[in-house]
Amino acid sequence: MGRSDPGRLAPAAFLGTAAAIVVADQATKWLAVDRLAPAYVPHPVFGEWMRLTLVYNPGAAFGLHFGPWSRCFMALTVVAVVTMWRFYRESTPDARVRVWALCLVTGGAVGNLLDRIRSGRGVVDFLDVGVGAWRWPTFNVADIAVSTGAILLAIVLWREEEERVTLAADVRAESGAGTGSTGA
């Protein structure tokens, strides 16, 4: 696998792409902490619709809190990253979108994991979108990567399953036609 598979993203490129996402995430978080302090004070970018607001999220994704179980999210993240690597290793050379989706999820997951390891305050979030009291939970670059990658991966896996079902139906139809059965 890896370099010997033409068209497939080499392991170093996969890890490099995920690392680039981590670097972009960590750099923007560093800027947010440096420039947006104190926390919870909105800085309008496009009126009320888009603001930069420094928030520390000790819970799970998008500010969801599961009490003391929120810290278990670190272990789940490690399991997810290992799973993404396994999916990458099992990917075929023509599965480019699947591999890019895995890069996005891996890089975003590692970016937020670093925050959880580094600080008891939680993950640094700063992108604040909404109107008035109708606001999406504050998020960051890692969240964008994870969400985009997860949506792409869901679409890819759904299409792969559709292809398997279609192929299985074609094989059944061919085997039925070859035996002389009329289906009646």
Which residues belong to the active site? 125, 143
Contact present, 105 and 149 (Cβ < 8 Å): yes
Among 55, 123, 112, CA closest to 81: 112
At residue 54, the 3 state secondary structure works out as: strand
- Compute the distance between CA of residue 56 and CA of residue 47 in angstroms, rounded to an integer: 23
Q: Report d(CA 99, CA 105) in Å as an integer.
A: 10
| Cis before 44 (ω within 30) | no
Half-sphere exposure of 176 toward its Cβ, with a 13 Å CA cutoff? 10
The structure tokens listed for 63 are 């500010």
Query: Which among 93, 91, 77, 92 has a CA at the least distance from the CA of 146?
Result: 77
